Amino acid sequence: MKILYGVQGTGNGHISRARIMAKRFNELNIDVDFVFSGRTADKFFDMEVFGNYQVRQGMSFCYKDGKVDMLATLKKLNFSQLREDIKSLDLSSYDVVLNDFEPISAWAAKKQNKPSISISHQAAFLQDIPMQGAKWTDKTILKYFAPCQFNLGVHWYHFGANIIPPFIDAPLQLNSVDNKILVYLPFESLTQIKALIADFCDFEFYCYHPDLIEDSDEEHIHFRKLSKEGFKKDIANCSGIIANAGFELSSEALCFGKRILLKPLTGQFEQASNAYTLEMLGLASVMERLSFDAVEQWLEETQAGQVIFPADPQPLINWILAGNYNDTSYLLTELWQKVHFPEQVKLRLEHSLAA
């Protein structure tokens, strides 16, 4: 089987999920080509596992001061280039297209009548699950941004829908430095972030941000440029994480048993829904805007819960290779049996489902 895998490049979470799949595909010698869009080629990093991948312009959203900037987004869109990229993507040699919210490969598959499977967090919101702040425009974008023939959502709980858990490598042991906090707020300005945490001198903050081109330290705030290895090291031994409500980082934080403070990206219902779900499960605290008081209260808390997710995507790959994409029952059963929640989360789930 020959596979094309389209990946949305605007968020590191999409790429992280694709890395796990690519590693196993390589181990199995399965022929997979990757196409990324939504980010310029020079902004990708740690991409060796994807081999000779393609980069296209695609579509992406613009942000300013932690909010979606729709005017800038519309100005940036190049529909003629998007149409040309869709038209020029030849899928004749591929058996199936896998898609993680990437529009060019999804629309090319639709136009060329190739089987396509959306394996993404966004695909979960096409189903009946808890959502917050989803307007008609949001639902329309979800439906038409990267339409696929089959939709397999990825989420922290299945809610009785066609959803699989994320794949996360659990640590062999949980280590943490009590006063070490990881900060990843890529859509907020560095000035705002510094003002938020400057007065908490009893804690060491490791702040990763896409605007940083070199590492630097300012007393208890350690500014770090984006680095996969450095980020993994710091998430492993921090005691807590302050972040936007992106799916993949929150998943890692849960698997590593870290306490979480989320600031959803304003104007993005997906992040609002993520924050709502984790707060509902008792696995995160939420602040709607950058708030000194919210950070102060959260830093005084000690409770965290570890969620064990499957690390091996082999069951998903077996399902893809089998080719019966209308039947997900055995795949869902096998993967969710590998998920383990803290007892207090199980009780919350039982209560919410009973209601």
284-334: pLDDT as tens digits: 999 999 999 999 999 998 777 889 999 999 999 999 999 999 999 999 999
Q: Looking at residue 41, what is its pLDDT?
A: 85
Residue 69 banded pLDDT, cuts 50, 70, 90 = low
Domains of the chain listed by start with CATH number: 2-167+312-341 (3.40.50), 180-299 (3.40.50.2000)
CA angle (35 as vertex; 34, 37 as ends), nearest 5:
145
Of residues 273 and 16, which shows the higher confidence score? Answer: 273
Task: Give the CA angle between residues 68, 71, 76 to the nearest 5°.
Answer: 95
**What's the pLDDT at 190?**
94
Instruction: Tell which wins on pLDDT, 267 or 185.
Output: 185
Q: How far apart are CA 132 and CA 272, in angstroms?
A: 6
Q: What pLDDT does residue 66 have?
A: 55
Give the pLDDT confidence score for residue 137 in this predicted structure.
81
Residue 202 reports pLDDT greater than 80: yes
pLDDT digits 0-9 by tens, 215-257: 999 999 999 998 888 998 999 999 999 999 999 999 999 999 9
Mean of pLDDT values over 24-35: 96
pLDDT at residue 11 in the model: 73
Averaged pLDDT for residues 59-85: 72
Judged by average pLDDT, the poorest of 20-24, 86-90, 128-132, 172-176 is 172-176
Instruction: State yes or no: pLDDT of 61 exceeds 70.
Output: no
Distance in angstroms (rounded) separating the CA atoms of residues 70 and 353? 36
pLDDT, the chain, mean: 90
Cα–Cα distance measured from residue 235 to residue 243, given in angstroms and rounded to the nearest whole number: 12
Tell me, what's the pLDDT at 79?
Answer: 82
Higher pLDDT, 191 or 141: 191
Query: What's residue 77's pLDDT?
Result: 73
Q: Structure pTM?
A: 0.90
Higher-pLDDT residue of 302 and 95 is 95
Calculate the CA 24 to chain-centre distance. Answer: 19
pLDDT at 149: 97
Q: Model confidence at 187, in pLDDT bands (50, 70, 90)?
A: confident
pLDDT of the residue at 328: 96
pLDDT at 13: 80
**For 308, which DSSP code?**
B
Whether the Cβ atoms of residue 167 and residue 313 lie closer than 8 Å to each other: yes
What is residue 44's predicted lDDT score, i.e. its pLDDT? 83
Winning range, highest mean pLDDT, from 74-78, 176-180, 326-330: 326-330
Instruction: Concatenate the DSSP letters of all residues of 38-92 into one string.
Output: SS-GGG--S-GGG-S-EEE------EETTEE-HHHHHHH--HHHHHHHHHH---T
Provide CB contacts within 8 A for 252, sequence distance 6+. 168, 235
Of 283, 225, 227, nearest in space to 254 by CA: 283
Give percent of the chain with pLDDT exceeding 90.
69
Q: Structure tokens of 328?
A: 């997900």
Given this model, what pLDDT does residue 301 score?
A: 84
Q: Which percentage of the chain shows pLDDT scores above 70? A: 94
